[in-house]
Amino acid sequence: MTKPVKIKDALGGLFKSLKIDKRVREAGAAHVWAEIVGDDIDRVTQVAGVENGLLKVIVRDSVWRQELVMMKWEIIRKLNERLGEKIITDIRFR
């Protein structure tokens, strides 16, 4: 007879094998975007998604886009700090 396995352990292994755990952590970045960048920037941007550590952000106009490019590394640092681990490695503004 096999030894019982805790549901937490079984699901954790399943999530890891399907890479769901990573996707959930990456999605967290989209949820804290407004908190990190503030209302003014949040109004002119939209998070399009996160894939393999790359946060994709749509920006309303080129002036804001240029401003955000200059702020990129600070935003990445704050996002990862808020998420508690290095999830975001780059941001692409378009």
Tokens of residue 72, six digits: 């990129």
pLDDT per residue as tens digits for the range 28-65: 888 899 999 999 999 999 999 999 999 999 999 999 99
- Give me the chain's average pLDDT, please: 87
Q: What is the DSSP string of 12-52?
A: HHHHHHHTHHHHHHHHHHHHHHHHHH-HHHHHTEEEEEEET
DSSP 3: P
> Considering the entire predicted model, what is its pTM?
0.76
Tokens of residue 13, six digits: 């292994």
Could you give the C-alpha distances from 68 to 10, 22, 23, 24, 26, in angstroms and in order? 42, 25, 24, 25, 20
Q: Which domains does the chain have, with CATH numbers?
A: 25-93 (3.30.300.20)
